[in-house]
Structure 1
Protein backbone atom coordinates (compact mmCIF):
# COMPACT_ATOMS: atom_id res chain seq x y z
CA UNK A 1 0.00 0.00 0.00
CA UNK A 2 1.37 3.41 -1.01
CA UNK A 3 0.17 6.81 0.10
CA UNK A 4 -1.01 9.25 -2.55
CA UNK A 5 1.78 11.65 -1.64
CA UNK A 6 4.52 9.04 -2.04
CA UNK A 7 3.06 7.71 -5.28
CA UNK A 8 2.72 11.25 -6.65
CA UNK A 9 6.33 12.05 -5.76
CA UNK A 10 7.59 8.83 -7.35
CA UNK A 11 5.57 9.27 -10.55
CA UNK A 12 6.56 12.92 -10.96
CA UNK A 13 10.21 11.93 -10.52
CA UNK A 14 9.89 9.37 -13.32
CA UNK A 15 8.40 11.93 -15.70
CA UNK A 16 11.14 14.41 -14.87
CA UNK A 17 13.78 11.72 -15.39
CA UNK A 18 12.71 11.32 -19.03
CA UNK A 19 13.02 15.06 -19.61
CA UNK A 20 9.69 16.62 -18.63
CA UNK A 21 9.81 19.99 -16.92
CA UNK A 22 8.75 20.06 -13.27
CA UNK A 23 5.50 21.76 -14.29
CA UNK A 24 4.67 19.22 -17.00
CA UNK A 25 5.72 16.30 -14.81
CA UNK A 26 3.36 17.45 -12.06
CA UNK A 27 0.51 17.92 -14.54
CA UNK A 28 1.06 14.47 -16.07
CA UNK A 29 1.17 12.94 -12.60
CA UNK A 30 -2.04 14.69 -11.54
CA UNK A 31 -3.83 13.30 -14.60
CA UNK A 32 -2.46 9.79 -14.17
CA UNK A 33 -3.22 9.47 -10.47
CA UNK A 34 -6.70 10.94 -10.90
CA UNK A 35 -7.60 7.63 -12.54
CA UNK A 36 -6.50 5.65 -9.49
CA UNK A 37 -8.43 7.98 -7.19
CA UNK A 38 -11.56 7.35 -9.26
CA UNK A 39 -11.04 3.59 -9.18
CA UNK A 40 -9.99 3.33 -12.84
CA UNK A 41 -6.86 1.25 -12.21
CA UNK A 42 -6.44 0.46 -15.91
CA UNK A 43 -5.56 4.09 -16.67
CA UNK A 44 -3.67 5.08 -13.55
CA UNK A 45 -0.10 4.62 -12.40
CA UNK A 46 -0.16 1.12 -13.89
CA UNK A 47 0.33 2.82 -17.27
CA UNK A 48 3.47 4.68 -16.19
CA UNK A 49 5.85 2.10 -17.66
CA UNK A 50 4.00 2.35 -20.97
CA UNK A 51 4.76 6.06 -21.25
CA UNK A 52 8.42 5.37 -20.50
CA UNK A 53 8.50 2.73 -23.26
CA UNK A 54 6.96 5.20 -25.72
CA UNK A 55 9.65 7.72 -24.78
CA UNK A 56 12.37 5.09 -25.19
CA UNK A 57 10.97 4.29 -28.64
CA UNK A 58 11.19 7.95 -29.63
CA UNK A 59 7.42 8.40 -29.82
CA UNK A 60 7.16 10.96 -27.00
CA UNK A 61 8.77 14.40 -26.92
CA UNK A 62 9.31 15.18 -23.24
CA UNK A 63 9.74 18.92 -23.90
CA UNK A 64 7.12 19.73 -26.56
CA UNK A 65 6.23 23.11 -28.01
CA UNK A 66 2.44 22.84 -27.65
CA UNK A 67 0.86 25.54 -29.79
CA UNK A 68 -2.31 26.65 -31.54
CA UNK A 69 -1.80 26.33 -35.30
CA UNK A 70 -5.27 27.40 -36.46
CA UNK A 71 -8.17 29.08 -34.72
CA UNK A 72 -11.45 30.94 -34.98
CA UNK A 73 -13.24 32.69 -32.09
CA UNK A 74 -14.80 29.37 -31.00
CA UNK A 75 -12.48 26.69 -32.42
CA UNK A 76 -8.81 25.79 -32.56
CA UNK A 77 -6.38 23.14 -33.74
CA UNK A 78 -3.54 22.43 -31.31
CA UNK A 79 -0.29 20.77 -32.38
CA UNK A 80 1.05 18.74 -29.46
CA UNK A 81 4.57 18.37 -30.92
CA UNK A 82 4.39 14.66 -29.92
CA UNK A 83 4.25 15.55 -26.24
CA UNK A 84 2.68 13.43 -23.52
CA UNK A 85 -1.07 13.38 -24.02
CA UNK A 86 -1.27 13.78 -20.25
CA UNK A 87 0.21 17.25 -20.77
CA UNK A 88 -1.09 18.22 -24.20
CA UNK A 89 -4.77 17.46 -23.51
CA UNK A 90 -5.12 19.68 -20.40
CA UNK A 91 -3.47 22.54 -22.28
CA UNK A 92 -5.87 22.06 -25.20
CA UNK A 93 -8.81 21.96 -22.79
CA UNK A 94 -7.63 25.25 -21.30
CA UNK A 95 -7.82 26.79 -24.77
CA UNK A 96 -11.37 25.45 -25.22
CA UNK A 97 -12.45 26.83 -21.85
CA UNK A 98 -10.96 30.24 -22.61
CA UNK A 99 -12.85 30.39 -25.90
CA UNK A 100 -16.07 29.31 -24.22
CA UNK A 101 -15.66 32.10 -21.68
CA UNK A 102 -15.29 34.60 -24.51
CA UNK A 103 -17.93 33.48 -27.03
CA UNK A 104 -20.04 30.85 -25.26
CA UNK A 105 -18.54 27.67 -26.71
CA UNK A 106 -15.07 26.31 -27.39
CA UNK A 107 -14.03 23.35 -29.54
CA UNK A 108 -10.41 22.24 -29.84
CA UNK A 109 -8.96 19.38 -31.86
CA UNK A 110 -5.43 18.06 -31.27
CA UNK A 111 -2.85 16.45 -33.52
CA UNK A 112 0.61 15.00 -32.87
CA UNK A 113 -0.03 13.82 -29.32
CA UNK A 114 -0.14 10.54 -27.40
CA UNK A 115 -2.22 8.56 -24.90
CA UNK A 116 -3.88 11.08 -22.57
CA UNK A 117 -5.01 8.98 -19.61
CA UNK A 118 -8.66 8.92 -18.59
CA UNK A 119 -10.88 11.05 -20.79
CA UNK A 120 -12.94 12.03 -17.76
CA UNK A 121 -10.13 14.11 -16.25
CA UNK A 122 -10.10 16.43 -19.24
CA UNK A 123 -13.88 16.77 -19.49
CA UNK A 124 -14.06 17.56 -15.78
CA UNK A 125 -11.76 20.57 -16.16
CA UNK A 126 -14.81 22.48 -17.38
CA UNK A 127 -16.78 21.90 -14.18
CA UNK A 128 -14.97 24.51 -12.09
CA UNK A 129 -15.95 27.06 -14.74
CA UNK A 130 -19.62 26.00 -14.54
CA UNK A 131 -19.37 24.59 -18.06
CA UNK A 132 -20.13 21.29 -19.73
CA UNK A 133 -16.95 19.47 -20.72
CA UNK A 134 -16.57 17.00 -23.57
CA UNK A 135 -13.41 15.02 -24.28
CA UNK A 136 -12.71 12.18 -26.68
CA UNK A 137 -9.73 10.60 -28.39
CA UNK A 138 -8.91 8.02 -30.99
CA UNK A 139 -6.31 5.35 -30.30
CA UNK A 140 -4.21 2.60 -31.85
CA UNK A 141 -6.31 0.15 -33.92
CA UNK A 142 -7.34 -2.79 -31.74
CA UNK A 143 -11.04 -2.98 -32.64
CA UNK A 144 -12.63 -4.92 -35.49
CA UNK A 145 -15.89 -3.79 -37.11
CA UNK A 146 -19.03 -5.83 -36.49
CA UNK A 147 -18.75 -9.29 -38.13
CA UNK A 148 -15.18 -8.58 -39.30
CA UNK A 149 -11.65 -9.49 -38.23
CA UNK A 150 -9.41 -6.62 -39.39
CA UNK A 151 -8.56 -4.11 -36.65
CA UNK A 152 -9.56 -0.64 -37.87
CA UNK A 153 -10.33 1.54 -34.83
CA UNK A 154 -9.08 2.14 -31.31
CA UNK A 155 -11.08 1.94 -28.09
CA UNK A 156 -11.89 5.64 -28.77
CA UNK A 157 -13.33 6.78 -25.43
CA UNK A 158 -15.85 9.56 -24.84
CA UNK A 159 -16.24 11.58 -21.64
CA UNK A 160 -18.88 14.16 -20.72
CA UNK A 161 -18.95 16.21 -17.51
CA UNK A 162 -22.00 18.32 -16.63
CA UNK A 163 -22.23 20.59 -13.57
CA UNK A 164 -25.29 20.20 -11.33
CA UNK A 165 -25.12 23.19 -8.97
CA UNK A 166 -25.22 21.87 -5.37
CA UNK A 167 -25.46 18.24 -6.49
CA UNK A 168 -22.51 16.10 -7.63
CA UNK A 169 -21.77 16.60 -11.33
CA UNK A 170 -22.83 14.09 -13.95
CA UNK A 171 -19.69 12.45 -15.34
CA UNK A 172 -19.71 9.73 -17.99
CA UNK A 173 -16.41 8.28 -19.22
CA UNK A 174 -16.41 5.13 -21.33
CA UNK A 175 -14.66 3.35 -24.17
CA UNK A 176 -16.66 2.64 -27.31
CA UNK A 177 -15.64 -1.00 -26.94
CA UNK A 178 -17.12 -3.51 -24.51
CA UNK A 179 -13.95 -3.09 -22.43
CA UNK A 180 -10.87 -0.90 -22.66
CA UNK A 181 -7.53 -2.49 -23.49
CA UNK A 182 -6.29 -1.53 -20.03
CA UNK A 183 -8.83 -3.93 -18.54
CA UNK A 184 -7.21 -6.77 -20.49
CA UNK A 185 -3.80 -5.73 -19.19
CA UNK A 186 -5.09 -6.03 -15.62
CA UNK A 187 -6.42 -9.53 -16.37
CA UNK A 188 -3.07 -10.48 -17.88
CA UNK A 189 -1.22 -9.43 -14.73
CA UNK A 190 -3.68 -11.38 -12.57
CA UNK A 191 -3.66 -14.41 -14.90
CA UNK A 192 -7.46 -14.28 -15.24
CA UNK A 193 -9.75 -14.94 -18.20
CA UNK A 194 -11.73 -12.18 -19.89
CA UNK A 195 -15.54 -12.21 -19.84
CA UNK A 196 -17.21 -13.46 -23.00
CA UNK A 197 -17.95 -10.61 -25.39
CA UNK A 198 -14.82 -8.57 -24.76
CA UNK A 199 -12.51 -9.99 -27.44
CA UNK A 200 -12.31 -12.28 -30.44
CA UNK A 201 -9.47 -14.31 -31.92
CA UNK A 202 -7.83 -13.64 -35.30
CA UNK A 203 -10.51 -15.74 -37.03
CA UNK A 204 -13.37 -13.79 -35.46
CA UNK A 205 -14.33 -16.40 -32.86
CA UNK A 206 -15.25 -15.44 -29.30
CA UNK A 207 -12.34 -15.73 -26.88
CA UNK A 208 -11.70 -15.34 -23.17
CA UNK A 209 -7.90 -15.24 -23.52
CA UNK A 210 -6.73 -11.76 -22.40
CA UNK A 211 -3.54 -12.23 -24.47
CA UNK A 212 -5.56 -12.66 -27.69
CA UNK A 213 -4.58 -9.27 -29.12
CA UNK A 214 -0.95 -10.36 -29.26
CA UNK A 215 -1.99 -13.18 -31.61
CA UNK A 216 -3.93 -10.96 -34.01
CA UNK A 217 -7.26 -10.91 -32.20
CA UNK A 218 -9.39 -7.82 -31.67
CA UNK A 219 -11.48 -5.99 -29.11
CA UNK A 220 -15.22 -5.90 -29.77
CA UNK A 221 -17.30 -2.73 -30.18
CA UNK A 222 -19.77 -1.71 -27.50
CA UNK A 223 -23.23 -3.20 -27.95
CA UNK A 224 -22.82 -6.95 -27.87
CA UNK A 225 -23.62 -9.56 -30.48
CA UNK A 226 -26.67 -7.81 -31.93
CA UNK A 227 -25.80 -4.17 -31.29
CA UNK A 228 -22.07 -3.73 -31.79
CA UNK A 229 -22.62 -1.75 -34.98
CA UNK A 230 -23.75 1.10 -32.71
CA UNK A 231 -20.54 0.99 -30.70
CA UNK A 232 -18.51 0.86 -33.89
CA UNK A 233 -20.33 3.93 -35.21
CA UNK A 234 -19.64 5.77 -31.95
CA UNK A 235 -15.96 4.87 -32.28
CA UNK A 236 -15.95 6.12 -35.87
CA UNK A 237 -17.47 9.44 -34.78
CA UNK A 238 -14.72 9.84 -32.18
CA UNK A 239 -12.10 9.07 -34.83
CA UNK A 240 -13.49 11.76 -37.13
CA UNK A 241 -13.80 14.40 -34.39
CA UNK A 242 -10.39 13.62 -32.87
CA UNK A 243 -8.24 13.02 -35.92
CA UNK A 244 -9.81 13.84 -39.26
CA UNK A 245 -10.71 17.37 -38.14
CA UNK A 246 -7.21 18.06 -36.83
CA UNK A 247 -5.25 16.37 -39.60
CA UNK A 248 -3.97 13.61 -37.32
CA UNK A 249 -3.60 9.90 -38.09
CA UNK A 250 -6.90 8.05 -37.99
CA UNK A 251 -8.33 4.53 -38.25
CA UNK A 252 -5.76 1.83 -39.03
CA UNK A 253 -3.03 4.46 -39.55
CA UNK A 254 -2.82 5.45 -35.88
CA UNK A 255 0.60 4.29 -34.59
Structure 2
Protein backbone atom coordinates (compact mmCIF):
# COMPACT_ATOMS: atom_id res chain seq x y z
CA UNK A 1 0.00 0.00 0.00
CA UNK A 2 1.35 3.40 -0.96
CA UNK A 3 1.28 6.08 1.74
CA UNK A 4 0.92 9.79 0.99
CA UNK A 5 1.50 12.75 3.28
CA UNK A 6 -1.09 15.49 3.62
CA UNK A 7 1.35 17.85 1.92
CA UNK A 8 1.75 15.43 -0.98
CA UNK A 9 -2.00 15.01 -1.44
CA UNK A 10 -2.46 18.77 -1.17
CA UNK A 11 0.13 19.45 -3.88
CA UNK A 12 -1.32 16.82 -6.21
CA UNK A 13 -4.78 18.31 -5.75
CA UNK A 14 -3.58 21.87 -6.36
CA UNK A 15 -1.76 20.80 -9.51
CA UNK A 16 -4.82 19.00 -10.87
CA UNK A 17 -7.19 21.89 -10.18
CA UNK A 18 -4.77 24.34 -11.78
CA UNK A 19 -4.43 22.08 -14.82
CA UNK A 20 -8.22 22.34 -15.13
CA UNK A 21 -7.92 26.13 -15.26
CA UNK A 22 -8.41 27.20 -11.64
CA UNK A 23 -6.50 30.17 -10.28
CA UNK A 24 -3.83 29.43 -7.70
CA UNK A 25 -6.00 30.74 -4.85
CA UNK A 26 -9.02 28.69 -5.93
CA UNK A 27 -6.93 25.56 -6.48
CA UNK A 28 -5.44 25.90 -3.00
CA UNK A 29 -8.87 26.42 -1.44
CA UNK A 30 -10.31 23.37 -3.20
CA UNK A 31 -7.31 21.25 -2.22
CA UNK A 32 -7.64 22.37 1.40
CA UNK A 33 -11.26 21.20 1.57
CA UNK A 34 -10.41 17.79 0.10
CA UNK A 35 -7.33 17.10 2.22
CA UNK A 36 -9.11 18.24 5.39
CA UNK A 37 -11.67 15.49 4.76
CA UNK A 38 -8.95 12.85 4.54
CA UNK A 39 -7.27 14.14 7.71
CA UNK A 40 -10.60 13.89 9.55
CA UNK A 41 -11.01 10.31 8.35
CA UNK A 42 -13.81 11.09 5.89
CA UNK A 43 -12.10 9.39 2.96
CA UNK A 44 -15.34 9.34 0.98
CA UNK A 45 -15.06 13.11 0.51
CA UNK A 46 -11.30 13.54 0.27
CA UNK A 47 -8.91 13.43 -2.67
CA UNK A 48 -10.64 10.26 -3.88
CA UNK A 49 -13.27 12.69 -5.20
CA UNK A 50 -10.82 14.29 -7.63
CA UNK A 51 -11.81 12.01 -10.49
CA UNK A 52 -15.42 13.08 -10.06
CA UNK A 53 -14.56 16.76 -10.28
CA UNK A 54 -12.42 16.14 -13.35
CA UNK A 55 -15.32 14.26 -14.97
CA UNK A 56 -17.72 17.13 -14.25
CA UNK A 57 -15.23 19.61 -15.70
CA UNK A 58 -14.71 17.49 -18.82
CA UNK A 59 -18.49 17.34 -19.24
CA UNK A 60 -18.63 21.13 -19.14
CA UNK A 61 -20.53 21.26 -15.87
CA UNK A 62 -17.89 23.14 -13.86
CA UNK A 63 -16.65 26.65 -14.60
CA UNK A 64 -13.14 26.87 -13.16
CA UNK A 65 -13.05 30.68 -13.34
CA UNK A 66 -16.51 31.63 -12.06
CA UNK A 67 -17.69 35.17 -11.43
CA UNK A 68 -19.20 34.55 -8.00
CA UNK A 69 -21.55 37.35 -6.97
CA UNK A 70 -24.29 38.25 -4.53
CA UNK A 71 -27.59 38.55 -6.39
CA UNK A 72 -29.91 39.21 -3.42
CA UNK A 73 -29.22 40.43 0.08
CA UNK A 74 -30.80 42.01 3.13
CA UNK A 75 -28.63 42.60 6.18
CA UNK A 76 -28.02 39.11 7.62
CA UNK A 77 -29.23 37.18 4.57
CA UNK A 78 -27.92 36.84 1.03
CA UNK A 79 -28.02 34.65 -2.06
CA UNK A 80 -24.95 33.94 -4.16
CA UNK A 81 -24.81 32.90 -7.79
CA UNK A 82 -21.88 30.51 -8.12
CA UNK A 83 -21.66 30.79 -11.92
CA UNK A 84 -21.32 26.97 -12.12
CA UNK A 85 -18.16 27.22 -10.04
CA UNK A 86 -16.55 24.45 -8.05
CA UNK A 87 -18.48 24.02 -4.81
CA UNK A 88 -15.18 23.54 -2.99
CA UNK A 89 -14.46 27.19 -3.78
CA UNK A 90 -17.90 28.80 -3.87
CA UNK A 91 -19.09 27.45 -0.50
CA UNK A 92 -16.12 28.80 1.51
CA UNK A 93 -16.64 32.21 -0.09
CA UNK A 94 -20.27 32.15 1.00
CA UNK A 95 -19.33 31.05 4.51
CA UNK A 96 -16.87 33.92 4.86
CA UNK A 97 -19.62 36.36 3.91
CA UNK A 98 -22.01 34.71 6.39
CA UNK A 99 -19.42 35.07 9.16
CA UNK A 100 -18.94 38.75 8.34
CA UNK A 101 -22.72 39.28 8.38
CA UNK A 102 -22.95 37.50 11.73
CA UNK A 103 -20.40 39.89 13.19
CA UNK A 104 -22.54 42.81 12.05
CA UNK A 105 -26.06 41.53 12.67
CA UNK A 106 -25.77 38.64 15.12
CA UNK A 107 -26.33 35.93 12.51
CA UNK A 108 -25.47 35.36 8.88
CA UNK A 109 -27.41 33.19 6.43
CA UNK A 110 -26.40 32.48 2.85
CA UNK A 111 -27.87 30.47 0.00
CA UNK A 112 -26.00 29.39 -3.13
CA UNK A 113 -27.37 28.68 -6.59
CA UNK A 114 -25.57 27.43 -9.70
CA UNK A 115 -22.72 25.57 -8.04
CA UNK A 116 -21.44 22.00 -7.71
CA UNK A 117 -20.46 19.37 -5.14
CA UNK A 118 -18.89 21.18 -2.17
CA UNK A 119 -17.02 18.33 -0.52
CA UNK A 120 -17.22 17.64 3.19
CA UNK A 121 -20.03 19.71 4.72
CA UNK A 122 -18.25 19.85 8.06
CA UNK A 123 -15.39 21.90 6.61
CA UNK A 124 -17.70 24.81 5.85
CA UNK A 125 -19.50 24.64 9.19
CA UNK A 126 -16.18 24.55 11.04
CA UNK A 127 -15.08 27.81 9.41
CA UNK A 128 -17.20 29.57 12.07
CA UNK A 129 -15.33 28.04 15.01
CA UNK A 130 -12.28 30.38 15.06
CA UNK A 131 -14.77 33.25 15.37
CA UNK A 132 -16.48 31.63 18.38
CA UNK A 133 -19.60 31.14 16.30
CA UNK A 134 -21.89 28.22 15.56
CA UNK A 135 -21.54 27.11 11.95
CA UNK A 136 -24.07 25.28 9.82
CA UNK A 137 -23.81 23.99 6.26
CA UNK A 138 -26.17 21.90 4.18
CA UNK A 139 -26.79 21.05 0.57
CA UNK A 140 -29.15 19.22 -1.71
CA UNK A 141 -27.88 16.22 -3.66
CA UNK A 142 -28.63 14.11 -6.71
CA UNK A 143 -31.63 11.82 -6.03
CA UNK A 144 -30.12 8.41 -5.27
CA UNK A 145 -32.27 7.50 -2.25
CA UNK A 146 -35.66 5.74 -2.36
CA UNK A 147 -38.19 6.88 0.25
CA UNK A 148 -39.11 4.41 3.01
CA UNK A 149 -40.84 1.26 1.70
CA UNK A 150 -40.14 2.14 -1.93
CA UNK A 151 -37.47 1.32 -4.50
CA UNK A 152 -37.45 4.32 -6.84
CA UNK A 153 -34.67 6.85 -6.17
CA UNK A 154 -36.33 10.18 -5.43
CA UNK A 155 -34.32 11.84 -2.64
CA UNK A 156 -30.76 13.07 -2.22
CA UNK A 157 -28.52 12.23 0.72
CA UNK A 158 -28.80 15.98 1.47
CA UNK A 159 -26.00 16.29 4.06
CA UNK A 160 -26.15 18.62 7.05
CA UNK A 161 -23.27 19.76 9.27
CA UNK A 162 -23.15 21.75 12.50
CA UNK A 163 -20.11 23.02 14.40
CA UNK A 164 -20.41 24.29 17.98
CA UNK A 165 -17.53 26.04 19.78
CA UNK A 166 -16.91 24.79 23.31
CA UNK A 167 -14.45 27.19 24.87
CA UNK A 168 -11.39 25.31 26.11
CA UNK A 169 -12.92 21.96 25.20
CA UNK A 170 -12.92 20.39 21.76
CA UNK A 171 -15.70 21.74 19.54
CA UNK A 172 -18.73 19.59 18.82
CA UNK A 173 -18.98 18.86 15.10
CA UNK A 174 -21.85 16.92 13.56
CA UNK A 175 -21.60 16.03 9.87
CA UNK A 176 -24.10 13.58 8.46
CA UNK A 177 -26.07 12.43 5.46
CA UNK A 178 -29.84 12.30 5.81
CA UNK A 179 -29.79 8.74 4.52
CA UNK A 180 -28.63 5.42 5.97
CA UNK A 181 -25.13 6.22 4.77
CA UNK A 182 -23.26 8.73 2.62
CA UNK A 183 -23.06 7.59 -1.00
CA UNK A 184 -19.31 8.14 -0.95
CA UNK A 185 -18.87 5.29 1.54
CA UNK A 186 -20.56 2.93 -0.89
CA UNK A 187 -18.22 4.14 -3.63
CA UNK A 188 -15.20 3.38 -1.43
CA UNK A 189 -16.51 -0.12 -0.65
CA UNK A 190 -16.98 -0.73 -4.38
CA UNK A 191 -13.43 0.38 -5.18
CA UNK A 192 -12.00 -1.82 -2.43
CA UNK A 193 -14.17 -4.80 -3.35
CA UNK A 194 -15.74 -4.95 0.10
CA UNK A 195 -19.26 -5.97 1.05
CA UNK A 196 -21.56 -3.35 2.52
CA UNK A 197 -23.88 -3.80 5.51
CA UNK A 198 -27.49 -4.75 4.98
CA UNK A 199 -29.68 -1.68 4.69
CA UNK A 200 -27.19 0.51 2.83
CA UNK A 201 -28.67 -0.17 -0.61
CA UNK A 202 -31.89 -1.32 -2.25
CA UNK A 203 -31.57 -3.70 -5.20
CA UNK A 204 -35.13 -4.93 -5.68
Instruction: Give the TM interval when normalised to the shorter protein.
Output: over 0.9
- 2:109 aligns with 107
Query: In the alignment, what sits opposite 1:89?
Result: 91
1:7 is displaced (CA, Å) by: 1.4
Q: Note the C-alpha offset of 1:15.
A: 0.1
Give aligned pairs, total.
Answer: 202
Which of 9, 12, 34 is matched with 1:10 structurally? Answer: 12
Of 36, 43, 48, which aligns to 2:38?
36
Uncovered stretches (5+) of structure 1, i.e. residues with no partner? 204-255
Give how far 1:173 is off: 0.2
Unaligned residue ranges in structure 2 (runs of 5+): none
| 1:188-203 → structure 2 map (5 Å cutoff) | 188-201=190-203, 203=204
User: 1:168 aligns to what?
Assistant: 170
Q: Deviations over 1:34-90 (max 9, x none)?
A: 000000000000001100000000000000011100000010001100000000000
Q: Does residue 145 of structure 1 match 2:147?
A: yes
2:71 counterpart residue number: 69
Q: 1:152 offset after TM fit, Å? A: 1.4
Partner Cα separation in structure 2 for residue 16 and residue 153 of structure 1: 33
Give secondary structure in 2 for the equivalent of 1:25.
helix
Aligned to 1:123: 125
Please give the per-residue CA displacement for 1:113-166, whole angstroms capped at 9, x wherever unaligned.
Answer: 000000000000000111000000011110111112221111111000000010
Deviation at 1:190, TM superposition (A): 1.1
* 3-state SS in 2 of match to 1:80: strand
Distance 1:131 1:153 in 2: 31
CA distance in 2, matches of 1:192, 1:7: 24
Q: Distance in 1 between matches of 2:174 and 2:19?
A: 34
**TM value normalised by structure 1:** 0.78
Normalization by structure 2: what TM-score? 0.98
1:251 corresponds to: none
Shift of 1:188: 0.6
1:76 and 1:10 mapped to 2: Cα distance? 34
The Cα RMSD (Å) is 0.7
Partner SS for 1:148: coil
SS of 2:170 mapped into structure 1: strand
Match of 2:134 in 1: 132
Does residue 154 of the first structure (1) align with residue 156 of the second (2)? yes
Partner of 1:19: 21
